[in-house]
Amino acid sequence: MDVTVDQMVVFAILLGTLFLFVWGRWRYDLVAIGALLLVYVAGLSSSERVFAGFGHPAVITVAAVLVLSRGLLNAGVIDSMSRSLAKVGNRVTVQVLTLTGIVAISSGFMNNVGALALFMPVAIWLSRKSGRSPSVLLMPLAFGSLLGGLMTLIGTPPNIIIAMYRAEANETAFRMFDFLPVGGGVMLAGVLFIGFVGWRLTPMRDGGGSSGDLFRIEDYISELVVPEDSKIVGQSIYHLTSKLEEDVEATIVGLVRQEKHIPLPSWHQIIEAGDILVVEATPDDLKAMIDIVDLELAECKGDCKATLGSEDISIIEAVITPESSMAGHTATSLSLRRTYKVNLLSIARQGERLKTRLGQTRLVIGDILLLQGSDDNLQKVIKTYRLLPLAERDLRLDQPKKVVPAVGIFVGAMALAALNILPVHVAFTAAALVMVLVGLISVSQIYQSVDWPIIVLLGAMFPLGEALERTGGAELIAGQLLLLSEQFPPIVTVAILLAGTMMLSNVINNAAAAVLMAPIAISLAHGMGVSVDPLLMAVAVGASCAFLTPVGHQSNALVMAPGGYRFGDYWRLGLPLSILSALVAVPLIALVWPL
C-alpha cells in the first residue's frame, strides 16, 4: 500500500480533527475551521475553493430547514399536537409510545432538536403528574427524535449531505421521500422497541423528581424578621445585598409587610422595622446573615413559598442548551438580578440540586436553573441566553396561530422539491422567505433559529472531505475495505460501512461523520462495481443512529441533565437500539436499493 505525501498530510489533519472532536475541549466549529485552514496551508485546497463549502447546497438547505422549523413552532403547529398528550393517561408504555412516536414523526419534517425541545416540557410535566421520574421518558424522547430524522431528506443534516453527494457522483440527488422506505422501517421498529421494551432499560433516577419537584424550594426558604434596632432599618434592599455579598450568599425573594406579600421586591425598596424578609439561603449563610445585620429567625407558617410568586411573578425551570452563552460563566458574573430583575434560586446538575454556593458555581451545558421573575423578564432571559424552559408550576402552551398558512407554505416547498420543480435548497429558501413576508417569523428570529456552529462545521468540513477524495485518501481506505469485501458477500460490506459510520457518529457530530464517510462510500462502490445508492444509504442511516453517548447528537446532550443521566447510561438502551436499527436497515437497503 503506497501512501503519498498529500495522503499522509490529509490523514494527519483528519486524525487530529477527530481527536479534538472526541476530546471536546474546543467547540467543534472552531476545530473544523482550524482543519479547513490547515487544508489550505498544506496546499490541498486552492484559495478559490477553500471557503466554497459555505455555499454548498447542503449548507444552504440545512439553514433554510432550521428557519422553517422556527416558523412552524411560531405558528403553533406542534403546540396543537402537544395539548392532546395530556389525555394519554398514566400508563408508562402508552406515554412512551405516544410521545416517542409523535416526536419521531415531527422530526421527519422539522429540525429534530427543535421537535425534542418543544416536547420536553410536556414529557417532564407528564412524568411529574404520573409520579414518575422524567428519566423514564426523556431518553426515549431523544432517541425518537433521531429515528424520525431518518425518514425524509430534510429530517436530519446527514440526509441532506448524502443527497448532495449522490448528485456529485453523476447521479440525481436523493429526493424528499427516497429515505422513507429504509428510514421509516427503522423508525417504526425503533419506536415499537422503545415503547414496549426499551424504556425499561433507562435508569430510574430519583433526582429528576418523581412525585415532587426537582427543586424542593421550601427546604431553602426562610423568614427573617427585621427588629426595631436592626442595622438595616431605613436602608434599601440593594444596600443590604451589597453589605452581605462578600460574606453571605443569599437571595431575597420576597417581603411581607403588615400581611401584604411583595414577591421579588425592588432593590430600591426601603426596609422597615417589623418587615419579614423571605430569603433563599443555605443554613450556614442564613446564620451568618442573622449575625451580621441583626435579624431574627421567624417561624415559617406555610406562607414562605406563597411569597415567591403571584399573578405577575413566576418560577420556571430552564436548561442551558449547547447554544447558550451562559456556559462557562458563574451566576455572579451574569448579574441576572441587576440586568433583568430575575433571581437565580438554584442549580441542578444531572438530576440533583447542587449544594455549592450559587455565585461560585461555573455553569455548564445541561444545568437546570430555577429562575424567579416576571413573565416578561423571564422570557427576555430565556431568549437572550437561549435557554430551554422546562416544566413550570403549571404547564402552559400558547394558543396556535396561523397553523394553516404555515403548513401550506411548508407542504408547498416539499412538493416543489419532491416533484423536482425546484432544487431542494432553492425551494426551502423560498419557503423561508415567504414565512418572513407573511409574519410567521421575524427577521431577527431568522438568525436566532439558525444553528450557526452546525453551519460553520458543515462549511468547513466539506473542503476536508474533498481533500480526502482528491488526494486519493478515500480511495485508499475503500481499497482496504475492498480486501475485506472479497471474503464476504457485498451486503456484508454495506453492514460494515453502516456500523463504522454509526460508531463514528457517536463520538463526533453526525453531519461531520456523513461528510467524512460519503467519499469513502462512493470510492468503495466504484471499486466493487456496484451502485452507490446502497452504500450512501448505509452512511445516512449510520450517521443518524448515535444512541450510545450523550455527545453524538445535541438531542442526547439536551436530555442529560433534566433526566439525571450519566455518560454511561446511554448504552443500556442505545446498544440494543443500535443493533436493532442495523438489523432492520441492512435488509431494507438490500431490498429497496439493490447492489
Task: Name which residue leads in pLDDT, 373 or 196.
Answer: 196
The whole-number pLDDT of residue 397 equals: 40
Question: End of a domain among 389, 423, 446?
Answer: 389
Task: Name which residue leads in pLDDT, 196 or 290.
Answer: 196
Residues 14 and 159 both lie in one domain:
yes
408 burial type by CB count under 10 A (0-12 exposed, 13-18 middle, 19+ buried) = middle
Which pLDDT band holds residue 101 (cuts at 50, 70, 90)?
very high
Residues 446 and 568 both lie in one domain:
yes
Residues 124 and 182 both lie in one domain:
yes
The whole-number pLDDT of residue 2 equals: 59
486 burial type by CB count under 10 A (0-12 exposed, 13-18 middle, 19+ buried) = exposed
Which pLDDT band holds residue 394 (cuts at 50, 70, 90)?
very low
Query: Strand, coil or helix: what is 281?
Result: coil
Residue 215 within a domain:
no
Most confident of 8-12, 51-55, 146-150, 420-424: 146-150
Residue 358, domain extent? 313-389
Contact (CB, 8 A) for 164 and 56 = yes
Residue 396 within a domain:
no
Task: Name which residue leads in pLDDT, 191 or 132.
Answer: 191
Answer whether residue 455 shows pLDDT above 60: yes
Residue 106 within a domain:
yes
DSSP string, 194-223: HHHTGGGGS---STTTSSS-SS-GGGTEEE
Residues 258 and 380 both lie in one domain:
no
The whole-number pLDDT of residue 552 equals: 74
Residues 279 and 254 both lie in one domain:
yes
Alpha helices in 385-451 (DSSP H): 403-418, 424-437, 443-449
Residue 242 within a domain:
yes
The whole-number pLDDT of residue 241 equals: 79
Residues 337 and 440 both lie in one domain:
no
DSSP state of 346: E
The whole-number pLDDT of residue 121 equals: 74
Q: Which of 71-80, 332-341, 529-538 has the lowest mean pLDDT?
A: 71-80
The whole-number pLDDT of residue 576 equals: 96
The whole-number pLDDT of residue 553 equals: 82
**In this structure, what CATH number is given to the domain that contains residue 339?**
3.30.70.1450
The whole-number pLDDT of residue 290 equals: 80
Residues 240 and 380 both lie in one domain:
no
Residue 400 within a domain:
no
C-alpha to C-alpha distance for 166 and 172, rounded to whole angstroms: 7
Average pLDDT, integer, range 375-384: 84
Q: Which of 106-120, 187-201, 565-579 has the lowest mean pLDDT?
A: 106-120
Count of structural domains within the chain:
3
386, 390, 393, 394: CA torsion to nearest 10: 100
Residues 358 and 499 both lie in one domain:
no
Mean of the per-residue pLDDT values of the chain:
81
The whole-number pLDDT of residue 331 equals: 75
Answer whether residue 289 shows pLDDT above 90: no
Distances (CA, A) of 32 to 456, 468, 500, 563: 8, 14, 21, 30
Which pLDDT band holds residue 206 (cuts at 50, 70, 90)?
low
Residue 304 within a domain:
no
Answer whether residue 404 shows pLDDT above 60: yes
Question: End of a domain among 354, 389, 424?
Answer: 389
The whole-number pLDDT of residue 441 equals: 87
Residue 438 within a domain:
yes
529 burial type by CB count under 10 A (0-12 exposed, 13-18 middle, 19+ buried) = exposed
Q: Which of 292-301, 411-420, 429-438 has the lowest mean pLDDT?
A: 292-301
The whole-number pLDDT of residue 281 equals: 75
Residue 565 within a domain:
yes
Most confident of 93-97, 215-219, 401-405: 93-97
The whole-number pLDDT of residue 393 equals: 39
Q: What single-letter amino acid sits at 369?
A: L
Q: Which of 115-129, 287-301, 427-441, 467-481 has the lowest mean pLDDT?
A: 287-301
570 burial type by CB count under 10 A (0-12 exposed, 13-18 middle, 19+ buried) = buried
pLDDT tens digits, residue range 530-547?
A: 899 999 999 999 999 999
Average pLDDT, integer, range 559-579: 86
Question: Three-class SS string for 228-269?
Answer: CCCCCCCCEHHHHHHHHCCCCCCEEEEEEECCEEEECCCCCC
pLDDT tens digits, residue range 229-238?
A: 888 888 888 8
Distances (CA, A) of 230 to 274, 292, 296, 304, 446: 10, 10, 9, 22, 54
Which pLDDT band holds residue 149 (cuts at 50, 70, 90)?
very high
Residues 169 and 37 both lie in one domain:
yes
Residues 167 and 275 both lie in one domain:
no
Question: Three-class SS string for 448-504?
Answer: HHCCHHHHHHHHHHHHHHHHHHHCCHHHHHHHHHHHHHCCCCHHHHHHHHHHHHHHH
369 - beta bridge partners?
A: 318, 347
Question: End of a domain among 294, 329, 345?
Answer: 294
C-alpha to C-alpha distance for 577 and 32, rounded to whole angstroms: 30
C-alpha to C-alpha distance for 256 and 570, rounded to whole angstroms: 47
Q: pTM above 0.75?
A: no
* Number of CB atoms found within 10 A of residue 216's CB: 12
Average pLDDT, integer, range 81-95: 73
Answer whether residue 299 shows pLDDT above 60: no
C-alpha to C-alpha distance for 99 and 106, rounded to whole angstroms: 11
Residues 14 and 125 both lie in one domain:
yes
The whole-number pLDDT of residue 486 equals: 72
Residues 24 and 156 both lie in one domain:
yes
Answer whether residue 365 shows pLDDT above 80: no
Percent of the chain with pLDDT over 90: 21
